[in-house]
Homo-oligomer: A and B are copies of this chain.
Amino acid sequence: MSEFEERPAEPYTDQEALAEAALASDISDAVWDEDTGYVRRAVRRLHPADASDVLEQLDNETFSRAVEMLGAQLPTEVLIELRDEFREAAVEALPDDALLVVLEELDSDDATLILEDLEEGRREQLLAAMPEGDRATLEQGLAFDEETAGRLMQREFVAAPEFWTVGHTVDHARERGDDLPESFFEIYVIDPAFRLKGVVPLALIFRSRREMQLSELMEAPVVEVKAEMDQEEVAYLFQKYSLVSAPVIDDNGRLTGMITVDDMVDVIQEENTEDLLALSNVSAAGGTDSTWDTVKARAPWLGINLFTAFLASGVVAIFEGTIEAVVALAVLMPVVAALGGNAGSQALAVAVRAIAERELSGKAAGRAVRRELYTGIVNGTIFAIGVAAIAYLWFRDLELSGVIAVAMFATLVWACLTGILVPLGLKKVGADPAVASSVFVLTAVDIVGFLTFLGLATLVLLR
């Protein structure tokens, strides 16, 4: 129970970050003093999720040395909790015999993750050194596409025929004991061909009398996940139906694995991060710690924007003469661009979110477009008046104020409409609505904003 007493009262504070850093520095010293005992004890004393956090504080060289020193004594749970780039470094630093022990201990979904990290030669070699059955299971897992249910599922689950009673099932589990997966929440009821007939939650087994048959207790599975289903779809089903685990079915309708909610929470978080970054034109790069990775994730989008920005420039160039005559137009251009861009981003963020939550199908899409139109009209009216008022106080020119009012109104309505139509259009053609849409929306808003503002000014002010 010592871990229990030691946990800090607040879940995550700067104090905790400091304590983590202090422990990391002690471990670092111990690594260079070759004090394997200290490192091992320090790592094992913590919850694997905390131990991995501390190890991630080490610099690259110390981290690899620490992993090498620990070898097979590095707890497998810690290895699995490490962030991608650290796990990959750890797998590289671990000798083959330690990796074989790790692969044997892990559930198949986690073992697959480790195998993916290896270069092909070493992966084949390790697979060849494994017992026949384990190898076949892992090779099957690797055969599924990345980001599918088949890749994420574990092959370890508990299944029983429908004629078994609660008593028989429990007795069987007690006999098999450690062979059962460490964590599971339901028992799958199958027919002799391994087809899924139903599901019995453990809580129901727990409170049912021994003579009850599984066939009497079982419920129809809420969802049946196909092995090739995209992980995003699976995560959506978990969320919609409040699942903690779900059975996975192969092409022939046979029960082949189980997916648990902790993996889906990670997927949900991952997909959310992707959406948020994509909306700000950042590609989801693997590593985040090097400048090079950061540049790779951002420069291509700036590159696209470089050309779209010159499109907006081109619109302004059409009106060079007007600007020369009325230089206040150049002064007010940033207001049109900033407010228009802001309104476009707002509509875009709401639309991307609603699409991700599956709220914009069928009739709902039409309703949402109408709502954006009305919102554009209302906000357009409010800010046309606001901008015109400030412009009048500044330049004391009624015509100029009138021009910017009309331009502002048109720009805000247009911003709201493109903000929803661009992601809906991307979705329609099967593209990710979050990716690239912000560059398009902002450019479209700049172009229309400058066109109406400078165009109207040419008509009205240069008469």
Q: Are A346 and B239 in contact (CB under 8 A)?
A: no
Is residue A128 within 8 Å, beta carbon to beta carbon, of the partner chain? no
**Chain B residues within an 8 Å CB radius of A346:** 280-282, 298, 301-302
**Interface 1/0s, chain A 283-297, versus B by CB < 8 A?**
000001111001100
Is residue A208 within 8 Å, beta carbon to beta carbon, of the partner chain? yes
**Chain B residues within an 8 Å CB radius of A4:** 220-221, 224
Q: How many residues of A contact B (CB 8 A)?
A: 139
Q: Are A261 and B277 in contact (CB under 8 A)?
A: no
Q: Are A378 and B295 in contact (CB under 8 A)?
A: yes
**Chain B residues within an 8 Å CB radius of A269:** 239, 268, 272, 357
Q: Are A339 and B305 in contact (CB under 8 A)?
A: yes
- Complex: chain B residue closest to A12, CB-CB: B358
Q: Are B244 and A261 in contact (CB under 8 A)?
A: yes
Is residue A363 within 8 Å, beta carbon to beta carbon, of the partner chain? yes
Is residue A349 within 8 Å, beta carbon to beta carbon, of the partner chain? yes
The verdict on A333 contacting B334 (CB below 8 Å), with A18-B362, A265-B239, A342-B281 known, is: yes
Across the interface, A331 reaches (CB within 8 A) one of B183, B281, B316, namely B316
Q: How far is the CA of A368 from the CA of B86 in the complex (A)?
A: 17
Is residue A1 within 8 Å, beta carbon to beta carbon, of the partner chain? yes
Is residue A382 within 8 Å, beta carbon to beta carbon, of the partner chain? yes
| Interface window among A36-44, A66-74, A97-105, A168-176 | A168-176
Across the interface, A316 reaches (CB within 8 A) one of B21, B273, B330, namely B330
Q: How far is the CA of A239 from the CA of B264 in the complex (A)?
A: 10
Number of copies: 2
**Chain B residues within an 8 Å CB radius of A243:** 262
Q: Are B442 and A338 in contact (CB under 8 A)?
A: yes
Chain B's nearest CB lies how many Å from the CB of A159?
A: 14
Q: How far is the CA of A238 from the CA of B387 in the complex (A)?
A: 47
Q: Are A49 and B180 in contact (CB under 8 A)?
A: no
Q: Are A379 and B281 in contact (CB under 8 A)?
A: no
The verdict on A323 contacting B330 (CB below 8 Å), with A223-B7, A241-B47, A299-B379 known, is: yes
A-side residues, CB < 8 A to B, are: 1-4, 7, 9, 11-12, 14, 17-18, 20-21, 47, 49, 57, 170, 173-174, 176-177, 180-185, 197-198, 201-203, 205-209, 220-224, 226, 229, 233, 236-244, 261-262, 264-266, 268-269, 272-273, 275-277, 279-282, 288-291, 294-295, 298-299, 301-303, 305-306, 308-310, 312-313, 316-317, 320, 323-324, 327-335, 337-339, 341-343, 345-346, 348-350, 352-354, 357-358, 361-363, 367, 371-372, 374-375, 378-379, 382-383, 386-387, 390, 438-439, 442-443, 446, 450
